[in-house]
Every structure is written in C-alpha cells, then in structure tokens.
Structure 1
C-alpha cells in the first residue's frame, strides 16, 4: 500500500481536573493539589518522571488558585515583583541548576511570594536534593520544601495515560488495543508517549486505523 501524506499536527492536551486519571501512583499528589490551602509552608515541590502529569496538575492548581505559570528558564528575565503579587507555579525548576541569574531570580521570587502571603508550586523531575543548585540559600530553601514524588504508572494509570494521549490526538483506538499495549510495553510514561506517537505516525502514513493489528506490527518491528 502506498504511503499517504501525513501532517505533523500538534496534539492539544486536555488539562482540566476531569481529564486527570487518579490511581495509586498519583493519588497523594492529587490530594495535595486539591487541598493546597492546607500546605503548612504554603509551598510544594511536585516531582516525578516525564509524563507523570506534573504539568497537568500544575494547570489544575493554577485554575484552583488563580496562579500564574512560568517555566524556570524564563525566571532570569521575569518581573519578579509582579509575579509575587499572587500564587505562582514554577515548572522544571531542576533545569536551572548552575544558571546564576535564574537561580538568583528564583530565590527572590520564593522569598517575596511567601512574604506576600501567597503560595508556590514547583515542578521538577527529581527531588530538590538532586538539583545541584549553585546558590546555597536557594538550595537550602528548596530542600526544606515539602515534596511529593509521583511514581511510574501502575497498570490502570498506564492504560489511562495512553487513552488520554490518543484522545489529545483525536484518535479512538479499537477495543482491545490499549489492553494489548499495556501488557507489552515498558511500564513508564516515556514508553506510553513514544508508543502513542509511533502508532499515530504509522496510522497517518499508511491510512490504517489504530487497532491491535497495527500495534502488533509496530511492536514486532521495534523488537526486530
């Protein structure tokens, strides 16, 4: 069968609370986000592997708390005083280790936000002790921040993650496709994302529906 033209259109992620599947791997994180007014230090680090749902929960919290969301790598040029007038989410905080301007800005934002009586949610892939921050005062404040670790998915969450990623791409896999994949791919968020991306690409290029047969062919090819 000749290959069809395909268009690499971006998937649009649904990030509302109702779109977030709760399982044993993330139930504590969800409870902390929903109970954010009770954070004892008015701050929380949410860490976990790529695809665990940190950004999704950050958006949920932003909706609940009217917080602004900023990537950590934008801190160096941000208006810290303006950001600190409300609740703030800082995403990918571990990525600025060794960046003097960004670390300094983060330190001031942390202090000013809390001093103004607002709350701070921070996301990262690892816990603060592994960030290798160069600014000692920032490192000590981050290591003293309550931290919630999101784990790799259990079976139910792995299936739900794939279903959501298919839905974000406006794909409806046939019945049995996701259970088939769940038993055969690595139980990681990365594997789920890569599998969905590969099936989407294969479906677009061949014109075939996303079903168990296409999934089996893709997995056989990847293991060859």
Structure 2
C-alpha cells in the first residue's frame, strides 16, 4: 500500500477573498467589506474567537483597499503620521489594554486616519465593549465604530475550515476524515487548527496516510486524557 509523503513544511495560509467561506456566522462581516459600502464614521471593528477568520478578512480588505496591517502591540507614536496616509488595520487591540503608550498611539492614529478621510479597521476577540481600554477616549471611540461579530462555526462552516486548514498544509485527507472530525470535535476554530496540526504531525511521524483510522487514534487519545 502506498504511503502519503509528508514534509515538515510551514503551513501557508490562503488569505484571498475566494478562499473565505461565507456562512451565516460571518455573512454580516463579509457584507461590510463590499467596496460599495461606506462604514459609518469610517471605522469598523471585527470581533470573534481565535481562528474565526478576522485576520483573513483583514487581509482581504487590505488587498482591495491598499491598507497597512499591524498588531496593536507593535504600534508606536512615531509611526502614526506615516500610517495615517492611508487606510489602516490594527489587529488584537485588547492586547494593549494595559499598555498606555500603545493606547495613546492608537488614539492619535484613529483621529489622524479619519481626519485624512481614510478608513480604520480594528480587531479583537471579545466585543468592543469588553476591550477595557484604560484610555477612556479611545474606548469610547472604539465602541462608536460599526461592529461585526464573527460567531463560532456550524457544521458546514467547520467542515470547510478543516478542508482549508488541510489545504494550507498541502494535505488531502481521505473523504471520511472531515465528517468524522466534525461530529466529535469541540465546536471552535481553535480546536480545528489544533487537530489539523496534530494530525499532520502524526501522519508525518508514522509515515501513514491521513485517513479515518489516524483521526480515530487522535480523538481516542484525547478522550483518554
């Protein structure tokens, strides 16, 4: 029986618009990215659990708008004038809830980007009311933004997410693997990412095809823990 060749290569995420599966849990966020839609006040907040697709949507929007993307904790006051020359996406804003300088920089970036007539996108896992930013003026401006929440996946979306995660790793599992996983795994994108990574490593270590038997072995081991 032939074996599936596996190489320990880094996963290469597919982040184009056509790679994003639209479902009821994310349809509002996708609609707000339409080029013909103008965000009220020029700003949008995307929230949702890890792996829900926030970064994917940020990259889709940036590719179409020419926006710069950076993490909130990497933002510095000295960079604000340059960043404000165009649209900007700032990811993981709640990470700076206790970082005064970063909050001040984001506050000034927010004001300058909008004053220049550009758009600002912000992301975080919880809803913006729960970001607990210490700078009250920044927190109020965040909460005034248009907000789209990405919900946990249903079975159909989870199946597509698993397929995409396998494809990112250049893996084609047997047809019965994904339905088996969906029926038994935790209902979260984070769980999907962890399972695909572990199955990839198991298949490589054991030089086996990624089939239902390997999936059963993984899920059985989790139940025994």
Q: What interval of TM-score do these two structures reach, taking the shorter chain for normalisation?
A: over 0.9
Deviates more, 1:145-154 or 1:75-84: 75-84
For residues 7 and 176 of structure 1, do their structure 2 counterparts lie closer, same or farther at Cα, with a shift above 3 Å needed? closer
1:28 correspondence with 2:28: yes
- State the Cα deviation string for residues 50-107 of structure 1 (Å, max 9, x = none): 0000000000000111101011111126510010000000011111101011000000
Residue of structure 2 equivalent to 1:139: 139
User: Are 2:29 and 2:46, in contact at CA under 8 Å, matched by a contact in 1?
Assistant: yes
**Residue 40 of structure 2 aligns to a residue in which SS?**
coil
**Residue 98 of structure 2 aligns to a residue in which SS?**
coil
**Residue 162 of structure 1 aligns to a residue in which SS?**
helix
1:122 correspondence with 2:122: yes
Per-residue deviation at 1:15? 0.1
Per-residue deviation at 1:7? 6.2
Partners in 2 of 1:34 and 1:11 — Cα distance? 28
RMSD across aligned positions (CA): 1.3
Residue of structure 1 equivalent to 2:3: none
Structure 1 stretches lacking a partner, 5+ long: 1-5
Partners in 2 of 1:215 and 1:121 — Cα distance? 38
**Residue 45 of structure 1 aligns to a residue in which SS?**
strand
**Residue 123 of structure 1 aligns to a residue in which SS?**
strand
Structure 2 stretches lacking a partner, 5+ long: 1-5
Per-residue deviation at 1:37? 3.8
Deviates more, 1:68-77 or 1:211-220: 68-77
- Report the TM-score, using the length of structure 1 for normalisation: 0.94
1:162 correspondence with 2:172: no
Q: What is the aligned length? A: 219
Residue of structure 2 equivalent to 1:3: none
Residue of structure 2 equivalent to 1:81: 81
1:178 correspondence with 2:160: no
**Residue 34 of structure 1 aligns to a residue in which SS?**
coil
User: Are 2:92 and 2:124, in contact at CA under 8 Å, matched by a contact in 1?
Assistant: yes
Q: Runs (4+) of structure 1 moved beyond 4 Å? A: none
Partners in 1 of 2:38 and 2:139 — Cα distance? 24
Per-residue deviation at 1:9? 2.8
- Report the TM-score, using the length of structure 2 for normalisation: 0.94
Residue of structure 1 equivalent to 2:112: 112
